[in-house]
């Protein structure tokens, strides 16, 4: 507490006075300021939807995009596991790799059908 008062007094005492104090405030609170601005921007983009249907469509598109990406990552991991199973000639690892690859494909297929589920 005492250290903050000394720092503020030092900043105000320099040339510039209030401008330096404002700069010090920005330096110490930059992460919070940026977080609040980004959160506000996200809320504004959702709140600017013209109707509830537009909002629902936006959310459905967001879900579709991220679930598809997640499924793609799972498929990639399954492919790598399957390839490493062939390298080491391990039947169990090949089986796990194929299972993971198929699971990722199922997730991508479900994501492609979100327009059917959310229509």
Q: Who's near 83: CB < 8 A, 6+ residues apart?
A: 97
Residue 102 has pLDDT above 70, yes or no: yes
Position 101 confidence tier, pLDDT thresholds 50, 70, 90: very high
pLDDT at 80: 93
Q: How far apart are CA 57 and CA 8, in angstroms?
A: 50
- What is the average pLDDT across 3-19? 55
Digit-coded pLDDT (tens) for 13-30: 555 677 677 777 777 878
119 or 10, greater pLDDT:
119
Q: What is the DSSP string of 31-83?
A: HHHHHHHHHHHHHHHHHT-SSHHHHHHHHHHHHHHHHHHHHHHHHHHHHHHHH
Distance from C-alpha of 62 to C-alpha of 1, rounded to nearest angstrom = 45
What's the pLDDT score for residue 75? 94
pTM score, whole prediction: 0.53
Task: Assess contact for 64 and 115: CB atoms under 8 A.
Answer: yes
Has residue 116 got a pLDDT over 80?
no
Give the model confidence (pLDDT) of 27-81 as tens digits. 787 888 888 887 777 776 665 555 667 777 888 888 888 999 999 999 999 999 9
Collect all residues with Cβ–Cβ distance below 8 Å to 67 and sequence separation of at least 6: 107, 108, 110, 111, 114
Residue 3 pLDDT class (50, 70, 90 cuts): low
Confidence (pLDDT) at 24? 78
């Amino acid at each position: 507490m005492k250290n903050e008062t000394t720092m503020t007094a030092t900043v105000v005492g320099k040339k510039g006075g209030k401008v330096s104090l404002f700069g010090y405030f920005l330096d110490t609170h930059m992460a919070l300021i940026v977080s609040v601005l980004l959160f506000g921007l996200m809320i504004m983009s959702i709140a600017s939807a013209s109707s509830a249907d537009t909002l629902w469509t936006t959310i459905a598109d967001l879900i579709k995009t991220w679930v598809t990406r997640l499924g793609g990552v799972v498929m990639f991991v399954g492919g790598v596991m399957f390839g490493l199973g062939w390298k080491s000639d391990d039947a169990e690892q090949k089986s796990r790799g194929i299972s993971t690859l198929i699971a990722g494909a199922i997730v991508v297929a479900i994501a492609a059908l979100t327009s059917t589920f959310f229509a």
